[in-house]
Structure 1
Amino acid sequence: MVEMQDEFETLDDWFIESLKTYKDLHVFQLEHPTQVIEWTSGKTVCVAGYSSSKNEILELRLPLKLFADENKGLCAERDFKVVHGGFTEGPTRCLKHVPGTRCVVTNDGQNTDLQVWDLGGDDSDVIRRTGSVKGGNVSETGSRIAAPPSTPPQVLHGARSSSVQLTQLISGQTLYKLETSSDKPLSSLQFVSDSVFLASCSDGSVYVADARTSAAPQRLPPPTPSDESGVWWTDTSVAPQQADCKLVRLSSSGRAVVSDWRSLGGVVCQAQLDIQTRPHELKDVTVSWAPTLDGYISVSGRCLHTLMQI
């Protein structure tokens, strides 16, 4: 009980401090908590609940006030607006929009099967489930999902390094399988081009693979000294026009290590987060590069809530 109270106090402190970071802060209240938020266009995002029962899946239009350069106070719409919506029979732990389509792919965190959803269009405001993709194996943490930026509709998915596969959505055909000798749980899957992707593992290792070839993937080992008893979370920042391809790995001990994924070895920089209670599971924490603040990462989840510069 004391530990829970301390955690709530930490959350309150983080929230108050975070208010100082933003010029505009907009809050949209959902009926159930959500772990996922995904851009579906320049002005819309998709969210979904993760309670054990039926949940909403919603596409929301961001407040018009966010896009006004001047006279923001004159904008009539200052709140998020539901433009499309539907229901899922269970929780949604992972959600990915397929670029160039009106589809999102979800996973419930209980097995590796995927659900495919049509977000609807101008003629309908209903989000409907249109299909499914069979997963590769059994997992208690669910499947990670990624989609290439500009190809025919495809999804990369898997729960462990040994079960990663690229599937064509229209036909269900398996286009590629990652061949590795390890069977580590995945912390993330991310494309860095239409064909090259990173499969990041919970032990801090990262596989760099090209889905166009049958060549063995390259392996980026865990940072040294390794944190063998902990878990690592990963995110990648890709900006080829700036020759910026940074990979951040965060350990459960609070150590953040930044590398260039194109150079398999070496550390660009690192930092140490101050954490009170050490998280132990992949679902406990999310780490991501801030999209508009150069060199900043955001960390959220159990016992960790911060925006920090690396």
Structure 2
Amino acid sequence: MFDSAAESGDSEDEWFFQSIRRYEDLLMYDVQGVISSAVFRNDNRLLLASSREHTHEVWELSVPEKLTAGPDAGLTKDRDFKQITAGYTPDRTKEMLVINSKVVLSGPKSVCMYNIPSFSDPTDVMSHICDIRNDTGDATLAQSESCIYSATDVTNLTDFNFNTNKVSQLSSLPSQISRKGSDDALKISSIVYRSGKLYIGLSERGITYVYELGTGKVIQEITASDTLSGFWKIDISQDEKFVAFANSNGRVNVYDTRKLSEAVFEEKKEVQDQTKSNHQIHFSPEGNLLSLSGYSKLVEVFDVSDHSDRTEVFCHDGHRDEQISTILTHLWHPSQNKLVFSADDMGTLQAWRFK
């Protein structure tokens, strides 16, 4: 396990000198609000949803050229984040997705769409276009080539076709899923789209259903070996080789989808507050690295590839302020290797590339 400076009590100066050896890049940006969600528009643009007191906003930031130009670029012009556009929202945002020049937001009352102004637009303010659905709150989102999927449980999963602007319900799904237990057993925490399929993770049970959109059938059920109580989240590697489960009680399991009989990676995290569900689990774009956050101030990265020993390869401990209690969100850059963005509950955004 990586012996982080944050946990060993080293001074800020000692941590700074250690970071020079450990990081290729490390940038920090104060958002002055709690970041609830983040998504890349493209390699050079990042969207953040933030809240402070009763004000809720979505920002579009330029990613510093320092991070995308590469190690041999020398001096670069842009070395900090810059705000490009922004817009107010009526409530906090749970999740976001980007479709070309539009952003889809999931909030406590609806799933809605906003316009992102172009460079030639005289205004730099994001504007509300429409409500995709207003029959559910805090829906989980996923995106395919032509549709946005949203749901809070398996009975209300819908797709919005952004070519035709039509919403339809995937009505065949509920009848194919076990209804054992209470209604909470049907709640969805994660939806991941891969190659014509939806991987649907249930929040109250360590179960992921693989739903084939072309046939409208559940073609596989993947179950974590230890279905503890708590709040479950999942992710699927881009090549669909690995599926990862993370539980709010600290249990993390990764399975090879070609052999589900036993986990290829297991980890048990200490949990500060078991009532929270801030934990996140993400595969890197290449699929060999797995990142975890939300259990503490740390973002941890593990190698789960075939020929690794499944050990921790990096631990980001840059969220060091005493007032910080946890990481609220983190995400991998879509094309830059080993480049991760993370945000804590005090409104600090950090971008870091590890060696």
TM-score, length of structure 1 as denominator length: 0.80
For structure 2, the residue ranges without an aligned partner over 5 or more in a row are: 1-5, 305-355
In the superposition, relative to structure 1, how do residues 74 and 225 fare at CA in structure 2: closer, same or farther (>3 Å)? Answer: closer
Alignment of 1:10-29 (within 5 A): 19=19, 21-29=22-30
Q: Cα distance 1:90–1:135, how it changes in 2: closer, same or farther (>3 A)?
A: closer
Q: Given the superposition, is the C-alpha separation of residues 168 and 199 from structure 1 closer, same or farther in structure 2, using an over 3 Å criterion?
A: same
Structure 1 residue 219 corresponds to structure 2 residue 212: no
Give the secondary structure class of the aligned counterpart of 1:91: coil
After TM superposition, give the deviation of residue 186 of structure 1 in Å. 1.4
Instruction: Check conservation: 2:96, 2:103, Cα contact below 8 A.
Output: yes
Please give the alpha-carbon distance, in whole angstroms, between the structure 2 residues aligned to 1:12 and 1:103. Answer: 45
- The change in CA–CA distance for 1:163 and 1:77 in structure 2 (over 3 A counts) is same
User: Is 2:168 the counterpart of 1:205?
Assistant: no
- Whichever residue aligns with residue 233 of structure 1, its letter is K
Q: CA 1:122/1:216 → structure 2, altered by over 3 Å: closer, same or farther?
A: same
Letter in 1 for 2:290: I
Unaligned runs of 5+ in 1: 1-8
Correspondence for 2:269 among 274, 280, 304? 274
Structure 1 runs (4+) greater than 6 angstroms displaced: 9-13
**Residues 176-255 of structure 1 aligned to structure 2 (within 5 Å):** 176-177=170-171, 178-179=173-174, 180-182=177-179, 183=183, 184-193=186-195, 195-202=196-203, 203-221=205-223, 223-227=224-228, 229-239=229-239, 245-255=241-251
**Correspondence 1:143 to 2:139:** yes
In the alignment, is residue 74 of structure 1 matched against residue 69 of structure 2? no
Secondary structure of 1:65's counterpart equals helix
Shift of 1:12: 8.8
Provide the rounded CA distance (Å) in 2 between the counterparts of 1:156 and 1:262.
26
Task: Encode CA deviations 1:105-124: one digit per residue, 9 max, x unaligned.
Answer: 1112x24x201011111222
Q: How far off is 1:278 after superposition?
A: 4.7
- Compute the displacement of 1:127 (Å): 1.4
Whole-angstrom CA distance in 2 between matches of 1:289 and 1:272: 15
Q: Percent identity over the alignment?
A: 19
Letter in 2 for 1:26: L
8 Å Cα contact 2:190/2:201 also seen in 1: yes
Q: Partners of 1:215 and 1:273 in 2: how far apart? A: 34
| Cα distance between partner residues in 1 of 2:202 and 2:9 | 32
Code of the residue aligned with 1:27 in structure 2: it is M
Residue 172 of structure 1 is matched in structure 2 by: 166
Q: Residues 197 and 306 from structure 1, CA distance in 2 versus in 1: closer, same or farther, beyond 3 angstroms?
A: same
Q: Higher strand proportion, which one?
A: 2
> Residues 76-95 of structure 1: CA distance to partner in whole angstroms, max 9, x if unpaired?
21011222221112211211
In 2, Cα distance between equivalents of 1:262 and 1:104: 35
String of CA shifts for 1:252-296, please: whole Å, max 9, x gaps: 332211123466x323412223314252343x211112335x533
With over 3 angstroms needed to count, the CA separation of the structure-2 counterparts of 1:261 and 1:164, relative to structure 1, is farther
User: Bigger shift: 53-62 or 179-188?
Assistant: 179-188
Deviation at 1:249, TM superposition (A): 0.4
Cα deviation digits, residues 169-205 of structure 1 (max 9, x gap):
3423316343334352212111012x21111111110
C-alpha distance in 1 between matches for 2:297 and 2:75: 37
In 2: Cα distance, 1:11 partner to 1:50 partner: 32
Within 1, Cα distance between the matches of 2:55 and 2:8? 27
45-54 vs 16-25, which deviates more?
16-25
Q: Distance in 1 between matches of 2:51 and 2:257?
A: 32
The alpha-carbon deviation at position 217 of structure 1 amounts to 4.8
What number of residue pairs does the alignment pair up? 281
Per-residue deviation, 1:34: 0.5
Q: Give the aligned residue type for 1:271.
A: E
Which of 288, 301, 304 aligns to 1:295? It is 288
Read off the aligned partner of 2:39 and give its amino acid letter: E
Q: Secondary structure of 2:270's match? A: coil
- Shift of the alpha carbon at 1:132? 0.9
Write the deviation string for residues 60-100 of structure 1: whole angstroms up to 9, x where unpaired. 111111222356552121011222221112211211113xx
With normalisation by structure 2, the TM-score equals 0.70
